[in-house]
Amino acid sequence: MREQTKPEEREGGLMKSLGGPMQRRTFFRYAGATAAATTLLLTTSCDEDDEVTPPMNDKAVDLGSGDIGILNYAYALEQLEAAFYTAVVAESASALSADEMMVMQDLMAHEVAHREFFKAALGNKAIPDLEVDFSSINFKDKNSVLQTAKTFEDLGVAAYNGAGKLFTDTGAGLTYLLMGGKIVSVEARHAAAIHDLISENARAYGAEMVDANGLDRAMSPTEVLGAAGAFIATEINFSNLPK
Amino acid sequence: MNIFRIIQEIEKVDGEVYDRFASRRQAFSSLGSFGKKVALAAVPIAMGTMFKKAYGQSTSGIADVLNYALTLEYLEADFYMQGLAASGAIASENMAFFEDVRDHEVAHVAFLKTAITSLGATPVDKPTFDFSAGGAFPDWNSNPATYLALSQAFEDTGVRAYKGQAANLVASNEVLTAALQIHAVEARHAAIVRRIRGLKGWITNDERGAGMPAPTQAIYDGEAETMQAGVDVPAVSGVAAASVTEAFDEPLPMETVLNVASLFIA
Per-residue pLDDT, averaged over B232-242, amounts to: 98
**Interface ipTM above 0.85:** no
The answer to whether the CB of A156 falls within 8 A of the CB of A81 is yes
What are the pLDDT digits (tens) for B52-74? Answer: 444 444 335 888 899 999 999 99
Query: For residue B84, is pLDDT > 60?
Result: yes
Q: What is the C-alpha to C-alpha distance for residues A243 and B19, in angstroms, rounded to an integer? A: 40
What are the pLDDT digits (tens) for B157-207? Answer: 999 999 988 888 888 899 999 999 999 999 999 999 999 999 999 999 999
From A105-109, B16-20, B102-106, the region with the lowest mean pLDDT: B16-20
Per-residue pLDDT, averaged over A223-232, amounts to: 95
Nearest Cβ partner for A110 among B94, B170, B246: B246
Query: For residue B75, is pLDDT > 70?
Result: yes
Q: What is the C-alpha to C-alpha distance for residues A88 and A90, in angstroms, rounded to an integer? A: 5
Count CB atoms within 10 A of the CB of residue B145: 11
b/e map A205-243, b = 16+ CB within 10 Å: bbeebbeeebbbbbbbbbbbbbbbbbbbbbbbbbbebee
Per-residue pLDDT, averaged over A30-55, amounts to: 41
Question: Nearest residue on chain A to B173, judged by CA atoms?
Answer: A165
Task: Test B181 with A182 for CB contact under 8 angstroms.
Answer: no
Query: For residue B32, is pLDDT > 50?
Result: no
Q: What is the C-alpha to C-alpha distance for residues A212 and A221, in angstroms, rounded to an integer? A: 23
Strand partners, A214: none
Per-residue pLDDT, averaged over A147-156, amounts to: 98
Q: What is the C-alpha to C-alpha distance for residues A237 and A115, in angstroms, rounded to an integer? A: 19
Q: From residue A155, how far is each of A58, A75, A94, A161, A187 by CA, in Å?
A: 28, 14, 26, 10, 9
Amino acid residing at B11: E
Rounded to whole angstroms, the maximal C-alpha distance in chain A is 53
What angle, rounded to 10 degrees, do the helices at B173-196 and B144-163 form?
150
Rounded to whole angstroms, the maximal C-alpha distance in chain B is 58
Query: For residue A1, is pLDDT > 60?
Result: no
Chain centroid to Cα A10, Å, comes to 18
What are the pLDDT digits (tens) for A89-129? Answer: 999 999 999 999 999 999 999 999 999 999 999 999 999 99
Closest CA to A169 of A63, A17, A65, A67: A67
From A70-74, A187-191, B121-125, the region with the lowest mean pLDDT: B121-125
pLDDT band, very low/low/confident/very high, at A171 (cuts 50, 70, 90): confident
The answer to whether the CB of B262 falls within 8 A of the CB of B218 is no
Q: From residue A236, how far is each of A24, A151, A162, B31 by CA, in Å?
A: 18, 20, 19, 55
pLDDT at B162: 93
pLDDT at B120: 86
- Residues of chain B with C-beta less than 8 angstroms from the C-beta of A161: 177, 180-181, 184
pLDDT at A168: 86
pLDDT at B34: 39
Q: Give percent of chain A with pLDDT exceeding 90.
A: 69
Task: Test A186 with B187 for CB contact under 8 angstroms.
Answer: yes
Q: From residue B264, how far is each of A179, B150, B157 by CA, in Å?
A: 30, 10, 13
Task: Test B251 with A109 for CB contact under 8 angstroms.
Answer: no
Q: What is the C-alpha to C-alpha distance for residues B82 and B102, in angstroms, rounded to an integer? A: 10
Task: Test B181 with A196 for CB contact under 8 angstroms.
Answer: no
Among B90, B93, B174, B185, the residue to mutate for chain A (most A Cβ within 10 A): B185
Closest CA to B245 of B207, B204, B208: B204
pLDDT band, very low/low/confident/very high, at B35 (cuts 50, 70, 90): very low
Query: For residue B111, is pLDDT > 90?
Result: yes
pLDDT band, very low/low/confident/very high, at A200 (cuts 50, 70, 90): low
pTM: 0.80
Per DSSP, the three-state class of B103 is: helix
Per-residue pLDDT, averaged over A130-154, amounts to: 97
